[in-house]
Structure 1
Amino acid sequence: MKSLLLFVALVFALPSWASADTPGKDWMTAQQVTEKLRSLGYTEVRELEADDGHWEADVVKDGRIFEVHVDPHSGALTKNEPKH
């Protein structure tokens, strides 16, 4: 019975694990982040979302796709890796 209850609890918890976070009240807006990324030369901003305390997006620069993380307060890039 305990195993069944644990299984049911996990099934209902999974959707919350997979969803994006909610931006904090003191965060830069999505529009501000998009403008910051464009000022850095990224021509497309795809799938911008709040995740694990930062903004995360797939972006395009010089025809290449990168995954970036953006500090929600300063707008600084904390991750910038090419996607394969």
Structure 2
Amino acid sequence: MTATLEDVKAHLHIFHSVEDDYLRSLLEQSAIAVEAMTGIDKGSQFDELVLNRVRFAYNDKLDEFEARYQSVLLGASLNNLEGM
């Protein structure tokens, strides 16, 4: 599964469509960023990282994302390298 707008809205508890374009933009940016940081582009770990990066970006705390998820990002990167 790859995270969708509906997943983002459920994760953030958003029930309106006013911010859909903004959330789509955050989702796309987050998917690109997580892939660049880890080398993965699918799977449940990828989706979890993307959704949480969207959450941090939405709450204007993006600068805290990498520090809070550093071990998960590194683990995903290492797992990706082992799979190559």
Name the TM-score, length of structure 2 as normaliser.
0.31
**Between Structure 1 and Structure 2, which shows a larger proportion of strand residues?**
1
**Between Structure 1 and Structure 2, which shows a larger proportion of helix residues?**
2
Larger-gyration structure (1/2): 1
Q: Considering Cα pairs closer than 8 Å and 6+ residues apart, tell me whether 1 or 2 has the greater RCO.
A: 2
Name the TM-score, length of structure 1 as normaliser.
0.31
